[in-house]
Structure 1
Amino acid sequence: MSTKINYYFSKLDRFPIQDFFEGLSETYEILEKAKIYLRDNIATPNVKENHGEIRGSAPNLHGNYYIGEGTAIYNDVTIIGPVYIGKNCELMPGAIVRPNTILADGCSIGHGSEVKHCVMFGGSKVASLAFAGDSILGASARIGSGVITANRKFNQTNATLKFDGNRIDLGDSFFGCILGDSSRLGANSVTQPGTHIGPYTWIFPLTSVRGFIPAGKRVYNEQKIVMEDNDIVELKP
């Protein structure tokens, strides 16, 4: 079950692109499918459609894109195609949406955050000052402020996932995180390349995780807090 799509994502029928998941069974197939879909349906036909609402200065739009109705685009947003952005999304000031990204309806990208080659199911959110790269977010999943989904190993070899004593090759050296439906990454947490997190799991703030984390878990560090007397030092202005 460690890389099966239906373990992590239960709302495939609500995805705005019809038949997108047809023929797919493994999580690592989704990101490649996003590239192919956007190439064939957005880039090659030279689509440049913005049906959203610009709230503030004009966004920086590069390449090819489709932006659905009701989507709010705030100041200094940068969109680099090919990308597909669904209906009623929210791109906050300074957000960056990089190539090969698909946002389903009702997604949110926070202030100063960057998403690159991501597939986000409906209602998923990336809070402020975070990075989501080569990752998939399930329906209503949340990435907190300051989170990093590390998406490449130091040695630049393919990302892998260890499960039941076997190591699964995920097929690309760029691979971030699989975050199941309604799961959460707390503020300033980090996922190592290839991490798979089941649905309804909470990764608490300041926690670094890797590998396979099952559904319905709470993951956090146990820390010892130390409080000691301090010298009284008047600081210079």
Structure 2
Amino acid sequence: MFRLDEFFDLEGCPIPGLFDNVQYPWEVLAQISALMEKLVQENKSAYREVAPGVWIGAGTTVADTARFHGPAVFGRDCEIRPNAFVRGNVIAGDGVVLGNASEVKQAILFSGVQLPHYNYVGDSILGRGAHLGAGAIISNFKSTKEAVKVRIGDSVLETGMRKLGAIIGDGVEVGCNAVLNPGTLVGARALIYPLTSVRGYIPGGMICKGRDEIVPYLPR
């Protein structure tokens, strides 16, 4: 029903064996704090602490106006730009960009993820090289306050989670001001048009132009 290899090749995954003991990838979100502690303890020489419970790797730069609520771990050569907000339980790989007025919490970001302008990412996993255009938002909480369900085709998976954003595969491009609704799945190298509201499952290698218009991506 759910194939991990349709989303991630696991290159650039910040935690070795991240999905080894779970059935679905969103199950690891509840384990972030423990995973982070283990990561830092096993690689202490690779990180320095820049705020209480916030660790960064070599070459990572932090703007004076960035704000942190730990715990969080960022790998090497990341950019945490002015007015970025890290709101706890974040694990990021190498070369991640967290930009102006972007906020992230309870999330795992593979290497090369870019959240450069006015983005919100909560309770989500983003694969290697995924990019959110300016103003793109990952919504993690239903207005009805019900537990989030994940839909793949005609199947509905009960997550039991009150908050769950999106599982975004490697190389996904999300256009400016798009909104990914709670429980959205986007396969590797899919494209989401600007200003779209997305829910459910977008297969890898497709373009989502709107709720009822999903077509193959044919690079020129």
| TM-score, length basis structure 2 | 0.86
The change in CA–CA distance for 1:160 and 1:221 in structure 2 (over 3 A counts) is closer
- The aligned length equals 209
1:208 to partner: Cα distance: 0.6
SS in structure 2 at match of 1:117:
strand
Give the structure 2 partner of residue 235 of structure 1.
Answer: none
Structure 2 residue 40 is the aligned partner of structure 1 residue 51: no
Distance 1:35 1:159 in 2: 21
Deviation at 1:144, TM superposition (A): 1.0
The correspondence of residues 10-159 of structure 1 with structure 2, limited to 5 A, is: 10=9, 12-38=10-36, 51=48, 61=51, 63-159=52-148
Structure 2 unaligned regions, length at least 5: 212-220
| Greater mean deviation of Cα atoms: 78-87 or 157-166 | 157-166
Change (3 A) 1:191 1:69: same
2:217 aligns to what?
A: none
State the superposition RMSD in angstroms. Answer: 2.4
| Whole-angstrom distance in 2 between the partners of 1:32 and 1:221 | 31
Question: What is the percentage of aligned positions where both structures have the same residue?
Answer: 32
Residue pair 1:120, 1:139 contacting (<8 A) in 2 also: yes
Residue from 169, 176, 196 that aligns with 1:187 = 176
* 1:5 partner amino acid: L
8 Å Cα contact 2:88/2:105 also seen in 1:
yes
User: 148, 156, 164: which is aligned to 1:175?
Assistant: 164
> In structure 1, how many angstroms separate the alpha carbons of the residues matched to 2:71 and 2:172?
27
Corresponding position of 1:8: 7
Which structure would you say has the larger RCO, counting Cα contacts within 8 Å and 6 or more residues apart?
2
**Partner AA of 1:77 in structure 2:** A
* Deviations 1:26-85, CA, capped at 9 Å, x for gaps: 22122123233135566x9xx9x9638xxxxxx8x3x41221110011131011111111
1:160 Cα deviation (Å)?
0.5
1:156-235 counterparts in 2 under 5 A?
156-221=145-210
**Does structure 2 retain, via aligned residues, the 8 Å contact 1:118–1:135?**
yes
**TM-score normalised to the size of structure 1?**
0.80
- Give 3-state SS (helix, strand or coil) of 1:167's partner: strand
Read off the aligned partner of 1:35 and give its amino acid letter: S
Give the Cα separation in 2 of the matches to 1:41 and 1:201.
30
> Any idea what SS the aligned residue of 2:117 has?
coil
Structure with the higher strand share, 1 or 2: 2
